[in-house]
A = this chain, B = another copy of it.
Amino acid sequence: MLDTPSDATTHFETAAALRLACREGRFAAPTSGQAKGYQQGNVVILPRDLAGEFLRFCVVNPKPAPILGVSEPGDPSLPMLGDGIDIRTDVPRYRVFRDGQPAEQLTNISDLWRDDFVSFVLGCSFSFETALLQARIPVRHIAAGRNVPMYVTDIQTHAAGPFGGPMVVSMRGFSTSDAIRAMVLSAQMPQAHGAPVHFGDPAAIGIRDIHTPEFGDAPILEPGDVPVFWACGVTPQSAIRKARPAIAIMHEPGHMLVTDLPTDA
């Protein structure tokens, strides 16, 4: 079903150019590092009968699910996020979930589109990590070329209709002074998960072994590092899968919608 060869070496200066390349089948690669200065977002597409409860889930859980934009039912555009966005074609790769289970992988969902589909775009941590690097705060997993480690916690989200369940967090380790700066910086970016939810003892939020994350790669912690935990966009994805909707469409991990919003907004 991967009908387009990805081209990870192409670099796009603007979000609009990258979205056009997705639409024309010229780009289907991870979006990290692309179109610097533009906010990227997690994509969730749900039928209208679930969209209201999912919107409420996001509103009451703003740290794991910061809302960047929501569409009208059946309308594939998202004018609040960029001119001419077509959510059916402008994401590099999609994953369809049927009854909560992963199904097709696609680079274009036009054939699946329905008049009752509502699109949600939720903030992700890319713009926060860019801000850390710009502040010369080392981000260990990026320096090592790994994925960020992610953990299921015993912190419960606020449930809304069928959506709920535990919060998933990402972890980054820092020296104490960098941890303070990272906390303060992230608090200024509520659309990128905001301030952390925890630091220090992993067991205090139900993480048994920090070295074996449920998602992503094993963590890198240098001597004296403080682990700092942020709410993660996997949380709403996990909540949707647990709710087992007949159909839901999300982006393939790392293959985000790139919006026209500046990262410093």
CA distance A221 to B196 in the complex (A): 22
A177 contacts which of B181, B198, B201, B226 (Cβ < 8 Å)?
B198
A-B complex: 3 closest residue pairs judged by Cβ atoms: A184-B187, A184-B195, A183-B183
* Residues of chain A at interface, number, CB under 8 A: 18
A198 contacts which of B176, B184, B195, B201 (Cβ < 8 Å)?
B176
Interface flag for A131 (CB, 8 Å) = no
Can you tell how many copies of this chain the complex includes? 2
Given contacts A176-B204, A180-B198, 19 further A-B contacts (CB under 8 A): A176-B198, A176-B199, A176-B200, A177-B197, A177-B198, A179-B199, A180-B183, A180-B196, A180-B197, A180-B199, A181-B195, A183-B183, A183-B184, A184-B184, A184-B195, A187-B187, A200-B200, A200-B226, A204-B224
CA distance A224 to B179 in the complex (A): 19
User: How does the 8 Å CB contact mask read for A167-193 relative to B, with 1 for contact and 0 for none?
Assistant: 000000000110111011001000000
CA distance A142 to B196 in the complex (A): 26
Chain B residues within 8 Å of A199, by CB? 176, 179-180
* Nearest-CB residue, chain B, relative to A183: B183
Smallest CB separation, A64 vs chain B (Å)? 15
Smallest CB separation, A199 vs chain B (Å)? 6
Smallest CB separation, A194 vs chain B (Å)? 9
Smallest CB separation, A179 vs chain B (Å)? 8
CA distance A198 to B181 in the complex (A): 10
* Nearest-CB residue, chain B, relative to A226: B200
CA distance A85 to B215 in the complex (A): 61
